[in-house]
Amino acid sequence: MLEERLQYPEGIPINVTISSIEEYPIHYHSKDLELIVVMEGTIKLIIGYRTILLKKGDIFIVNEDELHSMYSNAPNKILIIQFDLDYFVQYIESLEFSYMMLETYLNGEKIEDLNITLTSKIRELMELYVKKGANFSKKLTSLSIDLLTYMKSNFEYFSIYEGRYFINKLDLQGNPANVGRIREIYKFIYDNYDRKVTLQELAEEKHFSMYYLSHIIKDFVGISFKELLNFSRVEISEKYLLETEMRISEIALACGFSATRYYVKAFEEWYGQTPEEYRAQRTSHANGEIKIEVLSPQAILDSMDDARTEQTYRGNPLLRDFYSKVIPLNGQAVRRKRSLGRNNLIAASRTWETPGRISETIFQVLRNRFDVAEVISVAGGRPERELLKRFEFMTRQNMNKAIYEFSNDRNIQNHIGFFETLFSTLDVHGLNTENFTLYLADHSSSPEQFAYLMDYLNEEAGAEKFFSVEPVALGDSAFDQGSYVFDAICGTPYLLHGLLGNKKKTAYALMDDEGTSVGTISGSSGLTAWNGLKKAAYFTCMFYAMLGDSVVAEDNDYIITKKGDSYQLLFYDYYQEGYKKIRSLRSKEEIADVFEERVPSNEYIVEISNLTGTYKVTRLSLNEECCLFNKLAAMGFPEGLSSQEKFLLEKSLFPEVSFEVMTLKETMDLYVHMPRFGSELILLEKC
């Protein structure tokens, strides 16, 4: 299909259609601006390297010459308004080379106001279009000019965030001169993309210094001149790839690259695949059949009565939400990238024996991927008796690992004295520790003394007679004593990031220390509160433990594993800048305020191909509703709980679970709507 040449009714410079879309193949419009409004349902929009899942109430601007396509396997009503730019350019200055976007990364209240106004203007235009009336053509043109002027005034300000994400930036509104310069820079690049161009040539043409132009581009666009030039070239190359049979080397030269390898590298940086792969994948989409059902114009007004009049903003300093991320899962191309391994350790305590927590079925799930070690650090009283009880406890629980925490609250001689007592106790009582491993965790500020203790145990004390001695790191949560980050669900993406990335054996405390707790939670590092109530961190570890052994795909915010014919897909929103922000919050109240922010949910589209047969799909969603911190916040953070309250909390703390049986054929999209701050695990089990 590709270029779609629009015909406008005589005297009417806009086209309006409302339809149910199943497939609208890859195409573009020359000298036309397109507004897509989702009235009902959802639609998958692919535009350049971006894939976006548009939902009811979403509005998207497609600029001239932008390649785009739409797909949906669900009921929908999509309003499309197309404007003849050749006509409107006589009324709106510099409209012919404006680039407008609705993606936002700003204060939610301000964006909400803008989108309510935009929706109102679209509604007014559509009411006139459907009802017609006296002076219809003149009024329609006037309202269209008003709408386009509003869009250009508010949605022409954009930047490229993190070298990839196009975002609207209204804070550029106060500098229209520089916006105009950026527009001229874009025009210069698109007029000269097919030859060698330099920043110096651009500076001379525009009568600015190279230094000034370089900083304008970086400050306002977010990337360097060279990066902007390469992006423009690879974007233009899409048409060559899909409209011609030119070789890749010919396309590289036609788009201004001095060598094919530079073109391939630039294309991969933006599109995540080579030009050859892109051409092979999308040529069939470009030649596809239009599958739409055009609806009556009255359906526009009927749908607008039900449509929402506000749109939650995309993006937040804590969690990003730019585009729906597309993740391919090709059954024929699955390759093992690495083994997940067993690098994580849970540090338990024998105090859990009384309520029988360790024998819980859910805890056995954790043991699928975690080693469990008993904490044997004791102080004061009768250490021999306490050590004996702990080793007897480990024997009953089939545990052959122990952990000792090296901290600053004792001097090195105290630590050595402890181990002398330990060896004596094991010797006197003849306890069998032949296959035991003792892990030493350094929670001190003295790595030299920790190394000395390791050497002492391995070389002087003869520890090998009883067990092997190995160092173990402490998980991130252990370093956040006094912070409620890991008590709340907003810390779970960062806990998952650590669990999945640990290269060394790393220990996580199973339970908060009752002696340091005031109330149910107190900013301690355990996976559960001191009274056994499970935090979000506990279920995060459960999700991790349910993954398969073979990692077949992963990124900073998801991982896909495989076990036999089954797949496990785990999604979470790890964002380093957000982590820094969250970790700076110390009090319960500061963390609770985070949940009051209007943070949108991230979305993913898993494109499944070459997997056939019947699969049982299990979804587990870890969200605010099953978070102990949020429950306690709603209760005003009580210092104590009645037995009834504790019972009810225990029953309410578990991820949401749903089941579905799905028959996979050639291809299918699996939509993932992430819970705010949480994570989602999807299990695909072959029936």
Residue 132: pLDDT above 90? no
Q: Report which of residues 107 and 91 the model is more confident about.
A: 91
Q: Tell me the pLDDT band of 317, cut-offs 50, 70 and 90.
A: very low
Q: Looking at 8-12, 111-115, 150-154, 163-167, which range is the least confident one?
A: 163-167
pLDDT at 109: 45
- CATH code of residue 193: 1.10.10.60
Q: How large is the average pLDDT for residues 78-92? A: 92
Residue 76: pLDDT above 90? yes
pLDDT at 381: 60
Amino acid identity, residue 423?
A: F
pLDDT at 464: 84
**Mean pLDDT for the chain?**
83
Q: How far apart are CA 101 and CA 104, in angstroms?
A: 8
224 exposed, middle or buried (CB, 10 Å; 0-12, 13-18, 19+)?
middle
How far is CA 200 from each of CA 193, 205, 213, 215, 231, rounded to the nearest angstrom? 15, 9, 9, 13, 19
Q: How large is the average pLDDT for residues 405-410? A: 79
pLDDT at 141: 92
Residue 632: pLDDT above 60? yes
- Name the CA radius of gyration of the chain, rounded: 30
pTM of the model as a whole: 0.68
8 in a domain, yes or no?
A: no
269 in a domain, yes or no?
A: yes
Reference 450, options 417, 404, 508, 504; nearest CA is 404
Residue 307: pLDDT above 60? no
The domain containing residue 218 runs over which residues? 176-282
40 in a domain, yes or no?
A: no
Of 367-381, 582-596, 671-685, give the range with the top mean pLDDT: 671-685
Q: Count of domains in the chain?
A: 1
Q: How large is the average pLDDT for residues 312-320? A: 35
pLDDT at 105: 33
pLDDT at 567: 95
264 in a domain, yes or no?
A: yes
pLDDT digits (tens, 9 = 90+) for 205-263: 888 888 888 988 887 788 889 988 999 999 999 999 999 999 999 999 999 999 999 99
Q: Tell me the pLDDT band of 361, cut-offs 50, 70 and 90.
A: confident
Residue 356: pLDDT above 80? no
Q: Tell me the pLDDT band of 655, cut-offs 50, 70 and 90.
A: very high
Backbone angles phi, psi at 78, to 5 degrees: -120, 120
432 in a domain, yes or no?
A: no
Q: Tell me the pLDDT band of 600, cut-offs 50, 70 and 90.
A: low
259 in a domain, yes or no?
A: yes
110 in a domain, yes or no?
A: no
Q: How large is the average pLDDT for residues 150-169? A: 68
Helix or strand run (H / E) with residue 131? helix 108-131
Q: Report which of residues 421 and 98 the model is more confident about.
A: 421
Q: Tell me the pLDDT band of 293, cut-offs 50, 70 and 90.
A: very high
pLDDT at 530: 83
pLDDT at 535: 92
How far is CA 599 from each of CA 573, 593, 677, rounded to the nearest angstrom? 12, 12, 9
Q: Tell me the pLDDT band of 81, cut-offs 50, 70 and 90.
A: very high
Count the Cβ atoms, other than its own, within 10 Å of residue 549. Answer: 15
Q: How far apart are CA 370 and CA 403, in angstroms?
A: 14
How far is CA 197 from each of CA 188, 194, 203, 230, 403, rounded to the nearest angstrom? 9, 9, 11, 11, 63
Q: How large is the average pLDDT for residues 540-544? A: 94
pLDDT at 589: 84
Count the Cβ atoms, other than its own, within 10 Å of residue 502. Answer: 17
pLDDT at 503: 80
Q: How large is the average pLDDT for residues 115-141? A: 87
pLDDT digits (tens, 9 = 90+) for 468-508: 999 988 876 544 556 788 888 888 888 888 899 878 888 88
Q: Tell me the pLDDT band of 20, cut-offs 50, 70 and 90.
A: very high
204 in a domain, yes or no?
A: yes
Percent of the chain whose pLDDT exceeds 70: 86
Q: Looking at 34-48, 581-595, 631-645, which range is the least confident one?
A: 581-595
Q: How large is the average pLDDT for residues 127-153? A: 89
